[in-house]
Structure 1
Amino acid sequence: MSSLNELEERHTASMAQLRSADSIEVIDEALGDVGLGFGDIRPLTAFNPNWGNLRLAPEMLETSLRFSEIAVHWESVSPLPEISGEYRVPAPLDILSQGPSLMVDMLSDEFQQDFVAELRYIDNAYNSGRGFMTYLHMAPGSPSLDVWFQDLVSKQFPPYPPGFFKLDITYNTYMDALVLSKGLHGWQYLFADISFTKRPFKKYGESLRNGFDVFAQLFPDLDYSPLIERWEARL
């Protein structure tokens, strides 16, 4: 295996923390070999002829999760409160190789079709069936690639399709947040313009608060104050 970059080292350490934590059951996990990073892959038009004017952020080109796959699904067990989490991050090459989502054919609105066609997933709830997906919006000419979260809820922010939430986060800060959150279900809403006092998000606010309390006990060396501050700002 090639030497790991700092982000990859933190992710492997995070998975080890979950495996060794008391009252945490790791249901499934995967860690593939290190391959190409975004900075090693050229030209982008080899994947999509419309990507000639697509610009990846400098930090993406410098640092990315290069594993062919990194995934984990975990749940708490008694006596801990009931919490769970998961994530699966594909390799940069796999992200770029994805075609448009089949969801495009299910939409009738032209704007929504074009929007969804430009999404490439970077994380999903692969094992629990919860339906969470996180995407990069691969929009040519955009100064930055926005990150969008999809949940199986009816909430809509027109003109975008139902269940899509723009996140105040980048690819790299998303991967950083995964280390801290360990994929705690619903953590993405900490970076969305929502309120945990309203349905359907109230349940996530409660489970995230429980998760932070548990993590403070299990991982006392980690600083959860940045995530807790975001949680408090959404009350």
Structure 2
Amino acid sequence: MEHETKLISTLEELKDCENINILGYEKGPLAEYLGTPDEALALLKESHGVSLDPKFKASFHRFSRLGIHWRGASENSAVGGEFYLVHLLNAIIGGRPADLASSRSSEKEAALYSDFRIFDSQPRGGVGTFAALRLRDGTDEPEIWYFHMNHGSTRMEIDYQEYLNNLLLTRGAYYWQYLFTDTPADYYHSNEIASGLRRAIEFLSDVFPNNDYSDLRARLHDRLA
């Protein structure tokens, strides 16, 4: 399956790079019992009543969990990244995140969080961040949301397949998700996210010169304008 190959290739590329230090790595078993993408999506519909657009088959992977935590070596130690993917069905069947809503959450926020199904997170070096599908009745194409413990949730402008593609491109560099949201410019400046993303994009461009990072540069520029 194409995305399985791409994910493993990206992990091996990070592990073999002399300019990157690997701080954590986890590769769970393949959920082969779920079968092909067609069989897995059919099982999801039959057992949980959740229908997903057929295009999810193109971005399907069978890893029960797959994660890596890294930092740039020596003078680039301020740059880092992390992702921890789980199987699409595990994310959905696992249910909504426990205890995400707090006493400070409004009814609207609590209702939103109840729709979330986490498929990517940063458990080692993150600060309570994750990406989730938002399951809603009447649609087979869930929204993608990014959550930060201190700053709440924001909807992303991309779908699940585009999320995985950009995850591979950024190697999970911290906060890359904000480049695909309508987060205001003052947020970037007040939280030093802009400088971190700028360093990350330049670092990745130097270390992985065969990849095109012009779109990420343009997105950062547009969001700071």
CA distance in 2, matches of 1:128, 1:100: 23
Deviates more, 1:35-44 or 1:224-233: 35-44
Residues 119-158 of structure 1 aligned to structure 2 (within 5 Å): 119-142=116-139, 144-154=141-151
Residues 1-235 of structure 1 aligned to structure 2 (within 5 Å): 5-35=1-31, 36=34, 39-41=38-40, 42-44=43-45, 46-47=47-48, 52=49, 54-80=50-76, 82-103=78-99, 106=102, 109-142=106-139, 144-154=141-151, 163-198=152-187, 202-235=191-224
Per the TM alignment, residue 9 of structure 1 is displaced from its structure 2 partner at its CA by: 1.2
* Structure showing the higher helix proportion among its residues: 2
Q: Deviations over 1:163-199 (max 9, x none)?
A: 1100001111111111101110010000011234445
Structure 2, unmatched stretches of 5+, are: none
Give the match's secondary structure for 2:74. Answer: coil
Per the TM alignment, residue 79 of structure 1 is displaced from its structure 2 partner at its CA by: 2.5
CA distance in 2, matches of 1:105, 1:164: 11
Per the TM alignment, residue 81 of structure 1 is displaced from its structure 2 partner at its CA by: 5.4
TM-score normalized with structure 2 length: 0.87
Give the letter aligned to residue 8 of structure 1.
Answer: E
CA distance in 2, matches of 1:226, 1:70: 26
Distance 1:203-1:136 versus aligned 2 partners, 3 A rule? same
Residues 37 and 57 in structure 2, CA contact (< 8 A), matched pair in contact too: yes
CA distance in 2, matches of 1:11, 1:105: 32
TM-score normalized with structure 1 length: 0.84
Give the match's secondary structure for 2:141. Answer: coil
Residues 133 and 149 in structure 1, CA contact (< 8 A), matched pair in contact too: yes
**Identity rate of aligned residues, in percent?**
24
CA distance in 1, matches of 2:185, 2:11: 28
Structure 1, unmatched stretches of 5+, are: 155-162
Q: Deviations over 1:27-71 (max 9, x none)?
A: 111122332365322243523xxxx4x431221134312111110
Give the match's secondary structure for 2:139. Answer: coil
Equivalenced residues, count: 218
| RMSD between superposed Cα atoms in Å | 2.1
Residues 137 and 148 in structure 1, CA contact (< 8 A), matched pair in contact too: yes
Q: Deviations over 1:113-134 (max 9, x none)?
A: 3221111001001111411111
CA distance in 1, matches of 2:221, 2:30: 37
Distance 1:43-1:7 versus aligned 2 partners, 3 A rule? closer
CA distance in 1, matches of 2:92, 2:190: 31
Give the match's secondary structure for 1:26. Answer: strand
